[in-house]
Structure 1
Amino acid sequence: MGIFDALFGKGKIGGEIAYYNLEDWWIGDFTDAERKYILKQYQPMGLSDNDIISGQILESSASVVQFLSGLASWFNKDEDRYLAKLICQKAESLLYDDTKVLDIHFLYQTKIMVYYRDRDKSDCLDIAITACQQQINVAKQAIKAFKKKFEDGLPGHKGFEQLAIILEKKKNFVEAIALCKKALEQGWAGDWDKRIQRCHRKIGNF
């Protein structure tokens, strides 16, 4: 069986889809046209069309959650963001107690970016807020993992940043200040002091 057969749900599927045991999801959750589109669009450096469904992978340092998070990030245009949502949902369904915290951290980062882009659509803003809170909930564990893996200081934190923006837009300045102080205390990179000062000024204008 060739690539054409694997693409349209016939014959043996290989690549990352097979390695991570995602064949049923790949065939069952996407149409033929969607699978073809995903294969065409997803081309990280070094990969070509169909690589995620062809060949045999014997070992990978990436978890299934990490793979799906990366895959979802390729579909954040207005016309294909629904695919990113489906991929994020699958990744989230595969979170377990032993999932690496940085994989969880980056999955929620992707989820925030995907859903916040559609914030004017039904439920998407609420889902983005939930994703911010989910990422914040694992922040302390993520700090330990970042410090163990990287010598430099902590990076920015999408959950803290995006939720601070949302709270400020909602004029919930006291909550925004408390959130920024928490991010600052934990050591995440960002303009937290400026945000705190701006919110204090806005409180004074009310």
Structure 2
Amino acid sequence: MGIFDLFKKKPKVNGIIKYLNLENWWLNELNDKEREIILITYAPMGTEKSIIEGEIYSSSQTHLHFFWGLIGWFNKPELRNIAYKLIAKAESLIDQNSAPLDVHFLYGAKLEVCYKDRDLRPNGLELAIQACEQQIENAPMAIEAFKEQYGDDLPAHKGYYQLAIVLEKQKRYSEAISLCKKAKLQGWAGDWDKRIERCNKRAKA
């Protein structure tokens, strides 16, 4: 390090990054190229640098909500290296106070990224299955939160759905049937009966 490097100032960070106290992550855990790509790629309002500009004094956005919304913008082959860094940071922020729906949607975003890489990375399928299992483990808490906010009818569940597909493709029919029964019992929307019937037939073939 040259003497003049000691006097270099870090770029000023505002916006949602500052509001969520993520300046250290932004400046020290990402490199210049990664920051540039994020600013260019993530522009939901059509404004570059929107996440580091402007003063935010109040927001309902949480750390996890910010990250699961961000991750989806990087689910392209040439950008997934950044998606994995975002996922890792987000997972490190999960604690007992995390909102169940934020955790639910974060694992859903992780699943989408990892499943796209299931045949492209040595551990791609393993990571996708892990994301399914993480979202399934969080399901009881997510159910309560969904019902409290949106009523009794639950939506589809990516983790249950994708893991059922994987198990069926691997001819692990009894496990697939058990999983579908669990998803149906919890009330998640889906064609569980059809999948159970199909797996039963294939198991007997």
**Fold in common (TM above 0.5):** yes
Match of residue 97 from structure 2? 98
The equivalent residue for 1:26 is: 26
**How big is each residue's C-alpha offset from its partner over 1:154-205, in whole Å with a ceiling of 9 and x where there is no partner?**
0000110111011111110000000001101111011111111111111121
CA displacement at 1:11 relative to structure 2: 2.9
Deviations 1:104-146 (A, max 9, x none): 1111111111111111211121121111111111111111100
The secondary structure found in structure 1 opposite 2:51 is helix
Q: Distance in 1 between matches of 2:54 and 2:46?
A: 12
CA distance in 2, matches of 1:182, 1:119: 25
* Separation in structure 2 between the aligned mates of residue 180 and residue 201 of structure 1, nearest angstrom: 15
Residue 169 in 1 paired to residue 179 in 2? no
Which residue is equivalent to 2:5? none
Give the AA of the match of 1:61: S
- CA–CA distance in structure 2, aligned partners of residues 152 and 77 of structure 1: 35
Poorly superposed stretches of 4+, deviation over 3 Å = none
- Between stretches 164-173 and 21-30, larger displacement belongs to 21-30
Select between 31-40 and 161-170 the one with higher mean Cα deviation.
31-40
In 2, Cα distance between equivalents of 1:169 and 1:83: 29
The number of equivalent residue pairs is 196
Of all paired residues, the percent bearing the same amino acid is 51
In structure 2, the residue matched to 1:145 is 145
What is aligned with 2:192?
A: 192
Which secondary structure does the structure 2 equivalent of 1:36 belong to?
helix
> Counterpart in 2 of 1:87?
86
Shift of residue 58 of structure 1?
Answer: 0.8
Q: Structure 1 residue 47: deviation in Å?
A: 4.7
| Rounded Cα–Cα distance in structure 1 between residues aligned with 2:46 and 2:189 | 32
Q: How far does the alpha carbon of each residue in 1:76-107 deviate from its partner, in whole angstroms, 9 at most, with x for none? A: 00110111111011010001111111011111
> How far 1:26 sits from its partner (Å)?
1.3
> What pairs with 1:120-139 in structure 2 (closer than 5 Å)?
120=119, 121-139=121-139
Tell me the amino acid that sits aligned with residue 66 of structure 2: F
> Which stretches in structure 1 are left out of the alignment for 5+ residues?
1-8
The separation in 1 between residues aligned to 2:31 and 2:138, in whole angstroms, is 35
Query: Offset at 1:30?
Result: 2.3
Uncovered stretches (5+) of structure 2, i.e. residues with no partner: 1-8
Corresponding residue for 1:3?
none
Match of 1:201 in 2: 201
CA distance in structure 1 between the aligned counterparts of 2:43 and 2:197, rounded to whole angstroms: 43
Q: Distance in 1 between matches of 2:193 and 2:40?
A: 43
After superposition, the C-alpha distances for 1:21-45 in whole angstroms (9 at most, x for unaligned) are 111211223222221111111122x
- RMSD, aligned α-carbons: 1.3
CA distance in 2 between partners of 1:14 and 1:110 (Å): 26
TM-score, L = length of structure 2: 0.92
Provide the secondary structure at the position in 1 that maps to 2:73. coil
